[in-house]
């Protein structure tokens, strides 16, 4: 979702062109801007322009780009329609744990809540005392379980890899990120996205190695990637996997194909 400031400006010089052919757009002017820019979204067009440029000039510029705008919007709308659909969290649905799909089994009215992985079945018990809506209770309980699994997994795997590499972090943190899988800061703290517990173990291992290497090389130089390759020879495959499948690791979870593994 993009917030658009709509100034309501429209062309007033009808002799320049046919108004019916002008794409509808919102306009934002700026004192600092020196050029005119068109930003296209699936359902809207925004123009950024300096204060000194006449409205008729902006309209003509947008009209000249009409074909490009329409093509771009159609491509974005098609891409949007291909976005993965959310999973309905209930008995029988499939969700990912370490790259494998497991079937959720929900049992209600139990003395206590809990989640347990039993081979390819993820058993979830709902407490008889829950007061929130059933769907929300299932989602919250599963998210809590995923976060606990991520905490255990990364605490164990990071220390194993840290000993192998001779690179010890000061702290291991599990958190939510919108656009990254891990991070490393100058305090030698390494952080990891809890959603990685949905990915195959070789992806988890790559992200761990990646962040630990930043303890020595706080950059993405050739020296950094050589160090990554030393401890994770197939890192390029892992990067490609994340580029292809990273968008499928969301919460609430989304469909990744019929009974297909990530």
The model's confidence at residue 12, banded by pLDDT at 50, 70 and 90, is: very low
Are 103 and 92 a contacting pair, CB within 8 Å? yes
Mean pLDDT of 46-54: 92
Encode pLDDT of 74-120 as tens digits. 888 877 666 677 888 999 999 999 999 999 999 998 888 999 999 89
pLDDT tens-digit series, residues 171-204? 999 999 988 999 999 999 999 999 999 999 999 9
- The answer to which of 4-8, 120-124, 206-210 has the lowest mean pLDDT is 4-8
Confidence of residue 259 (pLDDT cuts 50, 70, 90): very low
Output the CA–CA distances (angstroms, integers) from residue 47 to 9, 80, 150, in the order listed: 11, 22, 43
Q: How confident is the model at residue 261 (pLDDT cuts 50, 70, 90)?
A: low
Predicted pLDDT of residue 15:
30
Contacts 24+ apart (CB under 8 A), 154-158: 154/192, 154/204, 154/208, 157/204, 157/205, 157/208, 158/190, 158/208, 158/212
pLDDT digits (tens, 9 = 90+) for 128-162: 898 899 999 999 999 999 999 999 999 999 999 99
Mean pLDDT of the chain: 87
pLDDT digits (tens, 9 = 90+) for 219-250: 999 999 999 999 999 999 999 999 999 988 99
* Position 11 pLDDT exceeds 50: no
Whether residue 4 has pLDDT greater than 70: no
Predicted TM-score (pTM) of the model is: 0.69
* Strand arrangement of the beta sheet that strand 100-110 belongs to: 94-97, 100-110, 121-127, 114-118
Say if residue 8's pLDDT is above 60.
no
Q: What's 233's DSSP letter?
A: T
- Give the domains, in start order, of the chain with CATH numbers: 19-81 (no CATH), 94-248 (3.30.2010.10)
Per the model's pLDDT, the better-predicted residue between 26 and 21 turns out to be 26
pLDDT, residue 253, reads: 87
pLDDT recorded at residue 254: 84
Q: What is the structure's pLDDT at 102? A: 94
206 pLDDT more than 90: yes
Do 223 and 201 contact (CB within 8 A), yes or no?
A: no
pLDDT computed for residue 172 by the predictor: 98
3-class SS of residue 79: helix
Q: pLDDT-based confidence at 262, cuts 50/70/90? A: low
């Amino acid at each position: 979702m993009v917030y658009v400031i709509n100034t309501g400006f429209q062309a007033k010089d009808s002799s320049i062109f046919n108004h019916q052919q002008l794409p509808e757009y919102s306009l934002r002017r700026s004192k600092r801007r020196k050029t005119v820019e068109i930003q296209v979204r699936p359902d809207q067009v925004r123009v950024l322009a300096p204060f000194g440029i006449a409205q008729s000039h902006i309209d003509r510029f947008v009209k000249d780009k009409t074909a490009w705008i329409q093509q771009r919007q159609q491509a974005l709308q098609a891409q949007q329609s291909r976005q993965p659909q959310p999973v309905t969290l209930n008995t029988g649905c499939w969700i990912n744990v370490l790259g494998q799909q497991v079937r959720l089994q929900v049992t209600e009215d139990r003395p206590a809540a809990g989640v347990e992985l039993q081979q390819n079945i993820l058993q979830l018990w709902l407490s008889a005392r829950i007061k929130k809506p059933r769907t929300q209770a299932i989602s919250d309980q599963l998210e809590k379980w995923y976060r606990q699994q991520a905490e255990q997994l990364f605490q164990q795997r990071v220390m194993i890899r840290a000993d192998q590499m001779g690179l010890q972090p000061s702290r291991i943190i599990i958190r939510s990120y919108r656009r990254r899988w891990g991070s490393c800061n100058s305090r030698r703290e390494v952080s990891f996205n809890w959603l990685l517990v949905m990915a195959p173990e070789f992806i988890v291992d790559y992200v761990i190695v990646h962040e630990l290497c930043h303890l020595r090389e706080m950059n993405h130089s050739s020296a950094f990637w050589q160090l990554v390759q030393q401890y994770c020879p197939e890192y390029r495959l892992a990067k490609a996997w994340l580029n292809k499948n990273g968008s499928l690791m969301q919460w609430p979870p989304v469909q990744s194909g019929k009974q297909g593994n990530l």
